[in-house]
Structure 1
Amino acid sequence: MLAILDRIALFETLTQEEKLSLTRQGSAFFHAAKGASLLDKDSVHCALYILLAGRVRISSKGDEQGPATHGPGDFVGEQALFFGDDCSYQAHAVEDCILLCIDQRLILNLHWRTKDKIKDQLILALMRKVAAIGCNKEALLAELAEEREKVVRLQQDLLSILQQYPHIRRRIQEGEIAVSYCIQLA
């Protein structure tokens, strides 16, 4: 399995030990037959699927002839994985596929540095997707505004929690606990 992870761009910044921790903690291979649904709009899936072989068509609003087809090295499921949101698109196998499935629980149990490396690679990959698709500027700005609102709410929740637990706040300020997002403490 390490040989496979070595070939996936999403994991290129991980050390061999970090890749080994992914294999030890329960990532699994998954087969999807042609026509199979991987993700359904408005359903909750808490896994990241990395396409190793085959093609997957991404569509939204029931559009069966969706605009994007993903191939080996691409991934789906990142939105639900990190935000726990309902899926905003559908993904169907347009041919037999082999995927690597990384469950949300596995990601949550990884060391924070490893999670940050994966998160950074996901962001870079998503930026490349946006550039390749040539997204509608207004739609992209609206989505960005929605995501910013989510981040602001998460920051407010974190600050509220930190006010309730001053000992955790102190440990963060002293560097004993790592916080992967830059949040200015009041």
Structure 2
Amino acid sequence: MKLLEHIPLIKQLEILNRLSFFKEFTLSERQVLLESFSHLYLVSQDKHAFRRFDKDNRLYIVLSGELSIYTQDQHHAIGRVGPGEFLGEGAFITHRERSTSALARKDTILLAITPDALTRLPNVIREKIKDKIIEGMSARIGQLNHYIEDHLQ
């Protein structure tokens, strides 16, 4: 992963404005998040954002591109994550090592937020991020339930 340092703020805001994850955020909230509490990374195609058992507890929001998620065999993905979706919430919340690996299917830009940065965010922004994580995790539980039901029949 390569840290992206010279992307103008206006360009970063344009990207965030297109994503459903940030729909409930005001322009000034998006700007605060970008300026003070996050980093952008480029993950080149066929490279890992992180690997299973890494001690990386950042939450990643996909701004562009796509990642495959797998546990052991990268040829058998258990899911895909694209623009406006997030990954790494398990390690982010529990402060444990990664339980999966994430491989870029194409060049991918990620917004990374550390647990420490989340605690320093203004309350309104922090609560919106938490709400989005809860919504996303709930959707994933629903998908897993369907998967289990389909494979038990």
Q: TM-score, normalised by structure 2?
A: 0.77
- CA deviation string 1:55-108 (max 9, x = no partner): 211011x12222212222221111222221211111111222122222333212
Unpaired runs of 5+ residues, structure 1, are 138-186
Matching residue of 2:40:
29
Structure 1 runs (4+) deviating above 4 angstroms are: none
Structure 1 stretch 73-82 or stretch 116-125: which is displaced more? 73-82
Alignment of 1:16-165 (within 5 A): 16-60=27-71, 62-64=72-74, 65-133=76-144, 134-136=146-148
Aligned residues: 136
Q: CA RMSD in A?
A: 1.9
Task: Tell me, yes or no, if the aligned pair for 1:22 and 1:106 is still in contact at 8 Å.
Answer: no
Q: 1:113-169: per-residue Cα shift (whole Å, max 9, x none)?
A: 3211111111112222332342437xxxxxxxxxxxxxxxxxxxxxxxxxxxxxxxx
Counterpart Cα distance in 2 of 1:26 and 1:118: 12
Looking at structure 2, the residues matched to 3 and 119 of structure 1 have their Cα atoms a distance apart, in angstroms, of 22
More helix, by proportion: 1
Percent identical residues = 27
The structure where strand makes up a greater share of residues is: 2
> Deviation of residue 27 (structure 1)?
1.9
Does the residue aligned with 1:95 lie in a helix, a strand or coil? strand
CA distance in 2, matches of 1:26, 1:36: 25
* Corresponding residue of 1:12: 23
- Alpha-carbon distance in structure 1 between the residues aligned to 2:27 and 2:93: 24
- Give me the TM-score of the superposition, normalised by structure 1: 0.65
SS of the residue 2:134 aligns to: helix
Bigger radius of gyration = 1
Given that residues 10 and 122 in structure 1 are in contact (C-alpha distance below 8 angstroms), is that contact kept between their aligned partners in structure 2?
A: no
